[in-house]
Homo-oligomer: A and B are copies of this chain.
Amino acid sequence: MPASNEKAAGAERSRPIGVFDSGIGGLTVVSALRALLPNESIFYLGDTARVPYGGKSAATVQRYSLEIASMLLEENAKTVVVACNTASAVALPQLTESVPVRVTGVILPGAQAAVAATRSGHVGVIGTRATIKSGAYERALRSLNPEIRVTARACPLLVPLIEEGWLEQPITDQIILKYVGPLVDEGIDTLVLGCTHYPLLRKAMARLLGDSITLVDSAQNCANAVRDLLVRENLRAPETDTGRLQVALTDQPDSFLRVAREALQLDVGEIQLREVSPHVHQ
């Protein structure tokens, strides 16, 4: 390759990974990406003006996701990561069709890890109302192994508990057991944490559920999938790059940013504010 082309390819590969979420929760994916791919720059966009997506209809989540993804393209993203289970569950086909770069969601990587982990063939999935209602994890799990049994449960209290910072509290333990206990009783041996907030409760869940239940962290598995994609597409940032993290939100951050920053030990620098550009209906 001539030097000028090589330089152009290097510049191409130095473009940031664009990551979006309905709010701050997707920073769990950023944290996993930073650990795995320290040379990669990341532009994170949290739609805090309209958070949460979890209780909203598929049509609304699709519209919001297309708006946010187009803002990441304006930031020159070389690939888009949907670090939001709800958006991954209901908007991935629309995003894949509309966005001119490769799009990675959190559902399929999580499903692959769960299928690899289960011995009993019975997998539990927890997430927001919209994620669970979409049936996206069931579909992904069954596409990988049609024999697999899936028990899914919406857990709408876990996100606000996490945002309150009550990560290790007796009340949190009780709510986890109230939601997950029945799944364990039904015989699951693997539990997919199907919401980007949930890794912040991973410690509490591991303590409560013990070694017999494998926890599948969608953030970690999504980061692995992004690494594989970048290698496959020859888009890995040059090793000389120092990965830079930029965080932008559509509304002022609240106290949950502090919770996430502390729990993830993530240096998010100065937070930028962006106004959502409304998606034009065609």
Contact = CB atoms under 8 A, between A and B. Distances in A.
Contact of A164 (B48, B51, B56, B157): B157
B160 A171 contact: no
Interface string A237-272: 000000000000001101100000000000000000
Given A156-B160, A156-B163, A254-B129, A56 B49 contact: yes
A133 to B, nearest CB: 9
A60 B49 contact: yes
Interface in A39-67: 48-51, 55-57, 59-60
A175 interface: yes
A161 interface: yes
Interface size on A, as a range, is 20 to 34
Nearest to A52: B52
A56 B163 contact: no
Contacts of A49: 50, 56, 60
A156 B51 CA distance: 14
A251 B59 CA distance: 9
A182 interface: no
A61 B161 CA distance: 23
Given A157-B160, A161-B157, A171-B171, A251 B56 contact: yes
Given A171-B175, A175-B171, A251 B156 contact: no
A157 B156 CA distance: 10
B129 A255 contact: yes
Given A51-B55, A171-B171, A251 B60 contact: yes
A164 B153 CA distance: 13
A174 interface: yes
20 contacts: A48-B55, A49-B56, A49-B60, A50-B50, A51-B55, A55-B254, A56-B251, A129-B254, A129-B255, A156-B160, A156-B164, A157-B157, A157-B161, A157-B164, A159-B160, A160-B160, A170-B174, A171-B175, A174-B174, A278-B278
